[in-house]
Each structure stands twice: as C-alpha cells, then as structure tokens.
Amino acid sequence: MAVILLALGSRGDVQPMAVLAGELTRRGQAARVVATSDFAGLAAGCGADFVSIAADSREAVAMTHARFGRQLFSHPLGQAWLLRRWLALIAEPVADACLESIGPGDVVLSGILTRGVGLALAEARGARLVTVLHTGQVPTRYAESHFAFDHFRGRATYDLRGARLSWRIASGLGAPAAYLARAKLGLPRLAAGATAGAADAFPVIVAASPLVVPPAHDWPKNVVSTGYPTPRQESFAPDAELAAFLDAGPEPVYVGFGSLGASGAHDNLAPVIEAARLSGRRIVTPAVGGAAAGSIDRRVHVIDSVPHDWLLPRMAAVIHHGGAGTTWAGLLSGRPSVAVPFGVDQPYQAHRLHGLGVGPEPIPVQRLSGTSLARLIAQATSGSYDERAAEVGRVARAEDGTEATIAALTRWGYL
C-alpha cells in the first residue's frame, strides 16, 4: 500500500502535499506526489518521490496573457473559466499519470481539482480517497469558515445553499480528467455536478490552521481540521549582497505576490520602487518582469529563491498576495501581515488576516499602485499591529499541521 498525493495547481497546492509525502517517506511509508513537471525540484527538496504529469503549471499563467486573458482573470467567473480551460487541455496527461501511479488499496490524498479522478480510482481499484483542502471550501452556514465569505448574506438557508453550489462547482472543475479516467477504467460517466456528493462519502482534511479557517460547527463528522503542513526548517545562508542589504539599515518590508504574480498581479517592479520612494521604507521583493537579483535601488533589493521561514522574521512587515502558504508563513513570522489579493481564495485569507488583527485592511490588486502600496506599507509598519502579530505568531508556531494530518490518517486506519 502506498500513499499517493495528487497535487494539481500552483505552488500553494503542491508544497504542502510534498511536505506530507516527504515526512511519510522519512517514517518508512511509501509515498509519492503526482504533480506537473515544473514541481519536480520542489518535491525533491521535501524528500518526496515524484510522478510527473506531462504539463507545466506555468502554462496556466501564460493563458492570462492571451487575448482577453487579463480581462477574464480580473473576475472570479473568468478565473474559473481559465482554470477549467487549462484543466481541459491537460486532462489526458493528468488522467494517465494518476492511473499509472495508483494501485488497488492505495491511499489517495487529492486536492479539489483531482477529486473526480480520485473517486474513479476508489470505485475501480478500491483506492481509499481523502480530499485535502488548504482553505475554507467545505459547505457551511458560517461566513468566517468559507472562502466565499463576501457572498454570504446572514440568511442560513441561502448561505448554505450557496456554499454547497460552490462546493459542487469546485469539485467539478477537474471533470475533463475525471471523464477520461472513468472511460479508461470502464466506469460510467457521472452526471454533471455528481462528483461532490459521491466523494463526500470519504474523509475530508482541512489542512489549514484553525487561525485562518475556523472549524465550523456544521461541518460533517468526516471533516477534520489539522493545520497547514509546514516545510521543515533548513539551514540557509544568504548571498553576500542580500546580507549586506539587510545589515545596512532598519528592517525592510517584504513585498511579493506569489507564483501567480506573472498573471498580472505583480509583473513589474515600478510600483514597488515608487512605494519605497514614497514611504521611505526599504523593500525586499522577488524578481519579476525579467529583473535580476540584487539591489536595483538603494531602497529595493530583488531576490530569487529565499526560504520564507528565514526571510520573513527579518522583515518589519509582510505584504503578499494572500495565498494559503504565504499567509501561513506570514503568521509564523510574527510580523504584521497584509494581503493584496487578486482572486480564488486569496480575498478570504486577506480578510482573515485583518480579522486576526495582524495587519491593516487589505486592498484588491485592482487598486495596487505605488501610492496605495506606500500607504499600505505605512499602515503595516506603524507599530499598531506589532504586538498582536507577535502573539498570533507564537500560537501559530505551536501548531504542527504535518503531525496532525498524519495522526488523522492513522486514526482512520489509512496508514
């Protein structure tokens, strides 16, 4: 019996699964991650075996640069359409990689996008399916526990129906690969929207901190909150130029917008440079728009790959896109944290950070400019959020999402 972790999506979808796979491997359990080919190095860095899907997640980002791509990506429905389109284009390699990797009786930990494929393998090969989420997607009446919180109206029946509809839509986004998998396995095609109901018979893990996704009282009994699987801390030594920049003045502010930044949220450094000038604060920011690592301005230093667990505690504040992984890294740092979200679950995480009191009110990416970013920097570094951020950081660092997730699998007899 092996544990197969299906991680289709961006880095935020793959990294926590790779962390789990690496830890299971260290404990002597056969485990491997199935993800697009561009994440092979990430999995290896976590000590996880890797099965490559013959596709690249960066192709999804490239779609936002096609005709009307930016316009579509600026709206939630357009984002869903682009994601479904990408999933349709890679359906066959996804189905093939999953069918080749999963044998009879294997445990399948699946993200939401491969839930239908996992269900097909549970039916045909007796695989034991577990859906793994990193944000609040389980249907509930409680807005604070659901990523579509801003669509809730305080009417229990209406809100729950809307959350259930969102669940069915999310569970069906990977339908093209699921259709192919079922055909290859000789299974009848499921009716549209039926994946969620059938897969709900299996356990669901909300692998997000209760600080970020408060467990809801009306979650089904087979839903468990375990916390975010955090990468192991590794020794890291910065290059001489970054070390010199950090030592040359007061703590800088981190400004970065994740692996989807090239989709339009943060594809050039002009607003960052302007914000540094207007705020008078030094900034560390990831390389985008073809920029090379190094100091490009006396107040702005560009980095390539620097571990968040090393970098963020050295910052005065953290400004980011609100992805699940970066949100958690920001909380762990104990520094004020605020998001500039641009879609999917990011507005929810941004809202939760403000609700926790660790940072100012977020602004949507559509309002991002040098001026608005400078204002956000000034608010985050005002000192108003330092004490609360440090307090939440201590609580966050006491969690162990990896251990709690493995414990849940063990209780269910899956390990």
Specify whether 183 is located in the same domain as 247.
no
Is the Cα dihedral 296, 274, 387, 229 positive or negative?
negative
Q: Which residues are CB-contacts of 372 (< 8 A; sequence separation ≥ 6)? A: 363
Q: Are residues 7 and 144 in the same domain?
A: yes
Convert the pLDDT of each residue in 383-397 to its tens digit: 999 999 999 999 999
User: At 301, is the secondary structure helix, strand, or coil?
Assistant: strand
- The residue assigned the tokens 């985050």 is 380
Amino acid at 265: A
67 assigned to some structural domain: no
> How big, in percent rounded to 5, are the helix, strand and coil portions of the chain?
50, 15, 40
Do 224 and 342 belong together in one domain? no
Pair (162, 196) in one structural domain: yes
Q: Is residue 94 part of a domain?
A: yes
Q: How far is the C-alpha of 309 from the C-alpha of 305, rounded, in Å? A: 12
Q: Can you read off the two tokens belonging to residue 238?
A: 């910065």
Q: Is residue 186 part of a domain?
A: yes
Same domain, 260 and 155: no
Tally of domains within the chain: 2
Domain limits for position 277: 240-397
For residues 271 and 153, state if they share a domain.
Answer: no
Q: Are 317 and 254 in contact (CB under 8 A)?
A: yes
Do 166 and 36 share a structural domain?
yes
Q: Is 278 within a domain?
A: yes
Structure tokens at 78: 């357009």
Whether residue 319 is contained in a domain is answered as: yes
Same domain, 262 and 154: no
**How many angstroms separate the CA atoms of 330 and 311, rounded?**
10
155 shares its domain with 218: yes
pTM for the model stands at 0.93
* Residue 73 placed within a domain: no
| Domain match, 244 and 350 both | yes
Q: Could you give the CA distance from residue 121 to residue 140 in angstroms, rounded to a whole number?
A: 28
Cβ neighbour number for residue 123 with a 10 Å cutoff: 16
Whether 389 and 247 share a structural domain = yes
- Is 61 inside any structural domain? no
Tell me the C-alpha distance between 361 and 121, whole Å: 44
CA distance 191 to 225: 30
Residues ≥6 apart with Cβ < 8 Å to 308: 326, 329, 333
Question: Considering the domain boundaries, does residue 235 fall inside one?
Answer: no
User: In a structure prediction context, what are the per-residue pLDDT tens digits for the chain, which is 415 residues long?
Assistant: 999 999 999 888 999 999 999 999 999 999 999 999 999 999 999 999 999 999 998 887 766 666 655 666 666 777 777 788 889 999 999 999 999 999 999 999 999 999 999 999 999 999 999 999 999 999 999 999 999 999 999 999 999 999 999 999 999 999 999 999 999 999 999 987 899 999 999 999 999 999 999 999 999 999 999 999 998 887 889 999 999 999 999 999 999 986 545 444 456 788 899 999 999 999 999 877 666 777 888 899 999 889 999 999 999 999 999 999 999 999 999 999 999 998 889 999 999 999 999 999 999 888 888 999 999 999 999 999 999 999 999 999 999 999 999 999 999 999 9
User: CATH number for the domain including 9?
Assistant: 3.40.50.2000
Q: Check whether residue 372 and residue 406 sit in a common domain.
A: no
Residues in the chain: 415
